[in-house]
Amino acid sequence: MIWGTIFLCLVFQAILVFGVQDLKNLNIWPMPKSVEYGDKSIFLSKNFHLMTNGSKYLDKDGILKDGFTRLLDVLTANNVIEYVGKVDESVLLQGIHVVVNSESDELQYDIDESYKLYIHPEGSPIYANIEAATVYGALHGLQTFSQLCHFNLKSRKLIVNQIPWTITDQPRFSYRGLLIDTSRHYQPLPMIKKVIDSMAYAKLNVLHWHIVDKQSFPLEIPSYPKLWNGAYSLTERYTMAAAAEIVSYAKRRGINVLAELDVPGHAESWGVGYPALWPSKNCTEPLDVSSDFTFKLIDGVLSDFSKTFKYKFVHLGGDEVDTSCWSSTPRIQKWLKQQGLNESQAYEYFVLKAQKIAVSHGFEVINWEETFNHFGSKLDRKTVVHNWLGGGVAEQVVEAGLRCIVSNQDKWYLDHLDATWDMFYMNEPLTNITKPEQQKLVLGGEVCMWGETIDGSDIEQTIWPRAAAAAGT
């Protein structure tokens, strides 16, 4: 709530700074696709409520109802409404009438997130109206509505100015991500939930969960229970039930969880529980490419993943792989010779084999850009290449016919404290990509909150407001 408020205050300035003169009274972020407004005002009624007459979506799990409750919580968090005196019915907004056309609450890549929000001061009683294809579009509509409301110091009530409003909106990109990293610093479950809450304010829709890395392995893997021996401590762990709770919590806010299993580098912590995964005790990364056990274990992990992480993508990492341990370990050197592979080819072998395993469990694969840079033509044709090293990669990826997510570190890495909010705002995923069919291959963008120097005490403060600036792109 705090962060919602803080980032909204800050990013509103962006609108002014960038001189969108005719929109200067619109404190909506990200700016909807189309906005029309008037010059009248209306107060929110004491019994402001949700109405869903005519909606095909029946909300049996309460996703919409909970979203409405959160709206009320946000609207009343920072001010105490005083219901004294009588207000003319003709300037009272009685509630929001939400009509959702799809019965399904399935959340998946590329669902329809569009909505129409209109507040016309006609009829009696007066309602705000949201029409959406899916309940997740309706949740976006509620977020936008919250940004139209202000506490009026004179009346001590909530007021919507500039009615009548007619807003139509749909996201420019289907993938609007935020990465968190629970290996470098463990994040308690309530903190991950807070991050998810705040993502919803900015209409981000993918939590990229970089779960494990060199430093620690906090997640329970039922098939290989010793893996979380690599956690920092007994309490800095997530059970798979906790992971499922995160997925469920995010889903109810319209946010998918993209799980990452970064292989073969960034994996030293795996060997705390299973030292056989290390080339040797003194040379502990990358994972042993020569061992069947390595891939058997990856298969087990991805099998377990597939039961909890229902997003159609899984992230298999593949970045920053220093293969020298493979050559310096006699056993693996011997295997490389037998297979006729040099280090670079072995890296390719590993990534492609891991991709096949992921595909066998029903996933489409996202890999960091090094995989594309080294052997792009060999990657599974459904691979999504995740840019991070710098600009100019997306155009090569889509030229090669693959899909891309943009996270160039100079602009969209949140741990780069020298990257300012206006740099975040100005970063353009479609730079130099003009052909419509290639533009479609850019799924979207992601800001990355790497965890080396942040913990629960500053993750929110480091993510916001810059992540919101990117969300406004």
Length of the chain: 473
Q: Does 1 bind its own copies (CB under 8 A)?
A: yes
Which candidate in 236, 245, 320, 364 is catalytic? Answer: 320
Q: Which of residues 21, 53, 124, 235 is near its own copies by CB under 8 A?
A: 235
Q: For residues 141-170, which are near its own copies according to CB under 8 A?
A: 151, 153, 156
Nearer to its own copies, 373 or 461 (CB): 461
Q: Does 457 bind its own copies (CB under 8 A)?
A: yes
Q: Which of residues 22, 80, 281, 292 is near its own copies by CB under 8 A?
A: 80
Nearer to its own copies, 61 or 399 (CB): 61
Query: Are the beta carbons of 258 and 314 closer than 8 angstroms?
Result: yes
Q: Does 453 bind its own copies (CB under 8 A)?
A: no
Query: Are the beta carbons of 147 and 28 closer than 8 angstroms?
Result: yes
Q: Does 85 bind its own copies (CB under 8 A)?
A: no
Nearer to its own copies, 231 or 316 (CB): 231
Nearer to its own copies, 1 or 31 (CB): 1
Q: Within a 10 A sphere around the Cβ of 40, how many other Cβ atoms?
A: 15
Q: Does 6 bind its own copies (CB under 8 A)?
A: yes
Q: Which two tokens stand for residue 333?
A: 């050197």
Q: Which of residues 38, 102, 155, 245 is near its own copies by CB under 8 A?
A: 245
Identify any residues that bridge with 44 across adjacent strands, giving them in sequence order.
93
Q: Does 273 bind its own copies (CB under 8 A)?
A: no
Helices (DSSP H) in 25-115: which residue ranges? Answer: 63-77
Query: Are the beta carbons of 255 and 205 closer than 8 angstroms?
Result: yes
Give the nearest distance from C-beta 188 to its own copies in angstroms.
Answer: 5
Q: Which of residues 140, 237, 251, 411 is near its own copies by CB under 8 A?
A: 237
Q: For residues 334-363, which are near its own copies according to CB under 8 A?
A: none
User: Angle between the 135-148 and 63-77 helix axes, to the nearest 10 degrees?
Assistant: 10
Amino acid letter, residue 47: N
Among 263, 260, 190, 182, smallest CA distance to 216 is for 182
Q: Does 244 bind its own copies (CB under 8 A)?
A: yes
Extended strands (E) in 133-236: 149-152, 157-163, 165-169, 175-181, 206-210
Near its own copies by CB under 8 A, which window of 99-107, 236-244, 254-262, 417-425?
236-244
Q: Does 189 bind its own copies (CB under 8 A)?
A: yes
Residue 428 is a catalytic residue: no
How far is the C-alpha of 392 from the C-alpha of 431, rounded, in Å? 8
Q: Does 391 bind its own copies (CB under 8 A)?
A: no
Give the nearest distance from C-beta 403 to its own copies in angstroms.
Answer: 34
Q: Which of residues 85, 234, 282, 377 is near its own copies by CB under 8 A?
A: 234
What values do phi and psi take at 28, rounded to 5? -110, 135
Angle at 425 between CA 424 and CA 431, to 5 degrees: 90
Q: Which of residues 22, 39, 82, 292 is near its own copies by CB under 8 A?
A: 82
Distances (CA, A) of 473 to 80, 137, 429, 462, 463: 34, 19, 9, 19, 16
3-state secondary structure of 273: helix
Q: Does 66 bind its own copies (CB under 8 A)?
A: no
DSSP structural state of residue 212 = -
Among 412, 409, 384, smallest CA distance to 398 is for 384
Q: Does 116 bind its own copies (CB under 8 A)?
A: no
Binding site for its own copies (CB under 8 A): 1-2, 5-6, 77-80, 82, 151, 153, 156, 188-191, 234-235, 237, 239, 241-242, 244-245, 456-458, 461
User: Which amino acids are annotated catalytic?
Assistant: 320
